[in-house]
Structure 1
Amino acid sequence: MGLGVGLPTCRSLSRAAVAAAVGAGLALSAACGGGGGGGSDRLSVGVLLPGGGASRFGQFDRPLIEQKLRQLCPHCPAPIVAATPEANVQQQQLDALITRGVDVLIVAAIDPKALRSSVEAAHRAGIPVVAYDRLAQGPVSGYVTFDGATVGRLQGEALLTAMGAKAHGGQIVMMNGAVSDPNAGWFKRGALSVLNGRVRIGKSYDTADWRPENAYTDMTGAIAALGPDRIDGVLAANDSLAGAVISAFYASAVRPVPPVTGQDADLAAVRRIVGGEQYMTVYKSYAAEAGAAVRMAVALGRGEPVGSVATATVDSVTTRKIPSVLLPSYPVTVGTIKDTLVKDGIYTIDQICTPKLRSACAKAGLT
Structure 2
Amino acid sequence: MRRAAVPVLVSALALTAAACGKAGDDNDSDSGSSSGSGNKSIGLLLPDSVTTRYEQFDKPLFEAKVKELCSDCSVSYANAGADAAKQAQQVSTMVTKGVKVIAISAQDSAAIKSSIDAAVKKGVKVIAYDRLAQGPVSAYVSFDNEKVGQLQGQALLDSLGSKATPKAKVVMINGDDADPNAALFKKGAHSVLDGKVDIAYEQSGLWKDSIAAQKMKAAITQLGAKNIAGVYAANDGMAGGIATTLKGAGISGIPLTGQDAELAGIQRIVAGTQSSTVYKAFKPEADAAAQLAVNLVEGKSIDDLATTTMTNGSGNKVPSQLLTPVSVTVKNINDTVVKDKLYTVDQICTSAYAAACKKAGLQ
Match of 1:207 in 2: 205
1:264 — aligned with what?
260
Aligned to 1:361: 357
Give 3-state SS (helix, strand or coil) of 1:74's partner.
coil
Q: What is the one-letter code of the residue matched to 1:6?
A: S
Q: Which runs of 5+ in 2 are unaligned?
A: 1-25
**Out of 317, 324, 349, which is 1:328 matched to?**
324
Identify the match of residue 311 of structure 2 among 294, 297, 315. 315
Give the structure with higher Rg (CA): 1
Q: Secondary structure at the match of 1:175?
A: strand
CA contact (8 A) 1:146 1:326 kept: yes
For 2:224 and 2:161, the matched residues in 1 are separated by 20
Q: Secondary structure at the match of 2:219?
A: helix
> How far did residue 53 of structure 1 move?
8.1
> 2:338, 2:352 → 1: CA distance?
19
Q: Which one of the candidate residues 190, 194, 207 is aligned to 1:196?
A: 194
From 126, 136, 158, the counterpart of 1:129:
126
Q: Identify if the C-alpha distance between structure 1 residues 192 and 269 changes in structure 2 by more than 3 Å, giving closer, same or farther.
A: same
Q: What are the within-5 Å matches in structure 2 for residues 48-197 of structure 1?
A: 48-52=45-49, 55-77=52-74, 79-83=75-79, 84-169=81-166, 170-197=168-195
Shift of 1:54: 7.0
1:275 partnered with 2:271: yes
Encode CA deviations 1:231-272: one digit per residue, 9 max, x unaligned: 100110000111111111122222x24110000000001000
Q: 1:197-236 residue pairs with structure 2 within 5 A?
A: 197-208=195-206, 210-236=207-233
Amino acid at match of 1:9: G
- 1:312 offset after TM fit, Å? 0.6
Give yes or no for contact 1:105–1:128 (8 Å, CA) kept in 2: yes
* TM-score when normalising by structure 1: 0.88
1:198 shift after superposition:
0.5
Q: Do the aligned partners of 1:102 and 1:127 also contact (CA within 8 Å) in 2?
A: yes
Aligned-residue Cα RMSD (Å) equals 1.4
Tell me which amino acid in the other structure corresponds to 2:178: S
SS in 2 for 1:218: helix
Q: Which residue of 1 aligns with 2:341?
A: 345
Where in structure 1 do 4 or more consecutive aligned residues deviate above 6 Å? none
Identity of aligned residues (%): 45
Q: 1:333 to 1:225 in 2, by over 3 A?
A: same
CA shift at 1:304, angstroms?
1.8
Match of 1:362, SS? helix
| Contact kept in structure 2, 1:171 and 1:231, CA below 8 Å | yes
Q: How far apart are 1:55 and its partner, in Å?
A: 1.6
Unaligned runs of 5+ in 1: 11-42
- Give yes or no for contact 2:58–2:286 (8 Å, CA) kept in 1: yes
In the alignment, the residues of structure 1 paired with residue 324 and residue 51 of structure 2 have an alpha-carbon distance, to the nearest angstrom, of: 24
- For 1:272-328, what per-residue CA distance to the aligned partner results, in whole angstroms no more than 9, with x for missing partners? 000011000000111110111111111111222210111210001224321101100
1:358 to partner: Cα distance: 1.2
| Aligned residue pair count | 332
**1:130 & 1:183 partners in 2: Cα distance?**
16
SS of the residue corresponding to residue 335 of structure 2 reads: helix
Q: Residues of 1 paired with 2:357 and 2:78: CA distance?
A: 37
Partner of residue 304, structure 1: 300
Question: What is the CA–CA distance in structure 2 between the aligned matches of 1:309 and 1:201, rounded to whole Å?
Answer: 39
Counterpart in the other structure of 2:13: none
Q: 1:7 to 1:134 in 2, by over 3 A?
A: closer
Contact 2:69 2:291 in 1 (8 A): yes
Per-residue CA distance 1:114-155 (angstroms, 9 max, x = gap)? 101000011100100000000111110000000011100000
Mapped to 1, the partners of 2:335 and 2:182 lie a distance apart of 28
TM-score by length of 2: 0.89
